Amino acid sequence: MPSLVVLAVTAVPPSVRGAISRWLIEAAPGLYVGSVSARVRDELWVAIEDVIGDGAAVCAFPDDSEQGYGLRTAGDRRRETVDFDGLTLVKFRAPSQSPTQAPTGGEGSPAADLNASPPSKLPAQEVCSPRPWG
């Protein structure tokens, strides 16, 4: 049974765009939408993964999960999908971090920010509250 598929691609060869456009409509540059069977969706995804090169792709489709949809990604993206107790979440990598590199906790990294001391309190004149507290 056909179901809605949303596919976004960046920097893929024109041949891949042509293959995708045979099955889905290009609603915006690099954004494809359509209603196809799971088999067609899977075959399109295999074709995209085989030639992704320096490009990137993400596919959203209906799934029997708590969220009601599934995500697939291919290529080097700053966003990375993470399974958290059955929920698919999106994690941002640091701009200089490669997909296989773990956070090091160095200065300026998100891991270092977690260990940083809390910010000091703002002076009273800089508090942006519509009414006084207390």
Domain ranges of the chain: 1-76, 78-112
**Considering the domain 1-76, what is its CATH architecture?**
2-Layer Sandwich (3.30)
Report CA Rg, the chain: 21
Helix (H, G, I), strand (E, B) or coil at 113: helix
**Cα–Cα distance measured from residue 21 to residue 106, given in angstroms and rounded to the nearest whole number:** 44
pLDDT in tens, 52-87: 888 999 999 999 989 999 999 998 878 888 999 889
Q: What is the DSSP letter of 8?
A: E
User: Would the pTM count as exceeding 0.75?
Assistant: no
* Structure tokens belonging to residue 17: 């765009």
